[in-house]
Amino acid sequence: MRRITWFAALACLAATAQAADVHLLTAARIHTSDPAQPQVEAMAWDGSGRVLAVGDAKALLARYPDAERVDAGAATVVPGLIDAHGHLMGLGYALMQADLVGTRDRADVVARLKAFAEKEALPEGAWLVGNGWDQNDWPEKAFPTAADLDVAFPDRPVWLERVDGHAGWANSAAMQLVEQANPERSLAGDWQPDGGRILRADGKATGVFVDEAMGLVRAQMPEPDEAWLTEALERALVAAARDGLTGVHDMGVSSQTLALYKRFADAGKLTLRIDAYADGDGQALADLCEHGAYHHPEGRLQMRGVKLFIDGALGSRGAALLADYSDEPGNRGLLVTDPATYEGIVRKAKGCGVQVATHAIGDRGNRIVIDTYERVLGDDAKSDHRWRVEHAQIVSPEDIPRFAPLGVIASMQPTHATSDMPWAEDRLGKDRLFGAYAWQRFLHSGARLALGSDFPVESPDPRLGLYAAVTRQDRDGQPPGGWLPDQRLGAAEALRGFTSDAAYAGFDEKQVGKLAPGMRADFVVLAEDPLQAPASQLDDLQIESTWVDGKPVYEAK
């Protein structure tokens, strides 16, 4: 790996007492994402982390002869990468739990759980928690059951969340705790919780809980303490910086989690710029309505929006569809929020001046959201509201052109397409794929496209998002030419989705997403140029360092 010569810059940047007034970075090329000056070779910023100038290296060296130099040599610099849809504490939780991503079958899950329990030395009776399983990766592709876990863990409660976070798998010990806490209602029978589904066989719960039904099990789990939460956040921040992320739109943040973020920001420990979105119609939204948008004085934390849900996920057959699932006749998915209740919350948010972002995956879910936005916005559709649809995975072709006139942003995740492509046609049939993960159709309709990952559902690594967006292939290069290849993005379009367009989706376009005078000096140093590298290599770009406010938060060893 190329070694970057930092001269004395790192030492000066780390010690505020010695901080120079001006710092100057030179590199083989700096992609600014600014149409007025798209590529330069030098950038200067001041001690507050604001860009002073970009341009020709010789000119800036002459202009700032006493600046602290940062020479990136032959590397390429891009604006800080912003994930427009992630779950920061979800990532922290995942890093503190058994990792089940990529498990080959149920036996592999059990083996990983045993290893994790032994490594962590879990005390007797403590919950064993994991995440990341996906039955679509297993030979039989069927949902698992409690019996698969009971032999290995007959007494310890086990709870394992599916990779999309929209289904969970419990063992019998965990389900016994649910029934003990709810003696008036057995898990057996034919009743279902609102917005969720308990999978049953012969009237008995199998151990899989979908969407709102997961709350039955989660309610029995002990609340994590402050030390655990602090470590989870620390791990998540380290992972984000390592992957080149300088910002995230954190979807579904409670008032308690926002308080934790504030403590980190107050202590100067927040190494990621967080745009937090309140977790539905709860205390965080009430605080926004009472006090207005929140902005931390240091500029690394804000909350001005709310995240709502309308349906579930495609992998667990919870996405709300206009017609039956092709592989499960009679099932059209789930509405996790009643449409009338949902509209009431949207109207409340509009009245409070709060940006609305709604999870919608199926074509029925997306139509309900767009219809609701249209009714609630009314004559204000042309205002600068920047309401969002999170995921917009399966959209009816007649609804795609409705986004742009309403000023609605399609917030989409490229790696969802490449994760779902092996089985999406089974769920939807061929005809509905026309509106599936239709990135180019949204762009051609005039809609804004903000890109993210939905981590920890997918990896937080934006390089994988760039690769998926440009190739629509898995990391083995399959299928040849890409899945539904007419919807592939160009490298510049993909990079824009993770930089300037993501910034726009968070009302941050005057602060981040570009490298231009007055903007914050958030940037990533890469060994290769993502706009010149072969598409097949975008997932393997080498990140040499990550910078926020002109200070390094990660440096490759």
490-506 confidence digits (pLDDT tens): 999 999 999 999 999 99
Give the chain's radius of gyration (CA, Å). Answer: 24
| 206 φ/ψ angles, rounded to the nearest 5 degrees | -85, -20
107-139 confidence digits (pLDDT tens): 999 999 999 999 888 888 899 999 999 999 999
Average pLDDT, the chain: 94
Residue 1, pLDDT > 70, answer no
Predicted pLDDT of residue 20: 53
The answer to whether residues 129 and 221 touch, using CB atoms and an 8 Å cutoff, is yes
Query: Scanning the structure block, which residue is given the tokens 């030098």?
Result: 42
28-48 confidence digits (pLDDT tens): 999 999 999 999 999 999 999
pLDDT (average), residues 254-259: 98
Q: Do you find a cis peptide bond into 456, omega within 30 degrees of 0? A: yes
d(CA 500, CA 494): 10
d(CA 355, CA 505): 10
Predicted pLDDT of residue 10: 43
d(CA 125, CA 319): 35
Length of the chain: 557
Residues 6+ apart with CB under 8 A from 267: none
pLDDT band at 6 (very low <50, low <70, confident <90, very high): very low
How many other CB atoms are there within 10 angstroms of residue 509's CB atom?
15
pLDDT band at 366 (very low <50, low <70, confident <90, very high): very high
Label each residue of 474-532 as H, E or C. CCCCCCCCCCCHHHCCCHHHHHHHCCHHHHHHCCCCCCCCCCCCCCECCEEEECCCCCC
pLDDT band at 557 (very low <50, low <70, confident <90, very high): confident
CA 479 to chain centre: 25
How many other CB atoms are there within 10 angstroms of residue 481's CB atom?
11
Here the tokens at position 292 are: 């207005």
d(CA 304, CA 308): 14
The answer to whether residues 333 and 321 touch, using CB atoms and an 8 Å cutoff, is yes
- First and final C-alpha spacing in the chain: 9
Closest-CA residue to 394 (of 435, 364, 428): 435
Crossing angle of helices 226-242 and 88-95, rounded to 10°: 100
Predicted pLDDT of residue 164: 84
Sign of CA pseudo-dihedral 539, 449, 233, 161 = negative
Q: What pTM, to 2 d.p., does this model score?
A: 0.87
Predicted pLDDT of residue 163: 87
- Whole-number percent of the chain with pLDDT over 70: 96
Predicted pLDDT of residue 87: 97
323-356 confidence digits (pLDDT tens): 999 999 999 999 999 999 999 999 999 999 999 9
Label each residue of 270-291 as H, E or C. CCCEEEEEEECCCHHHHHHHHH
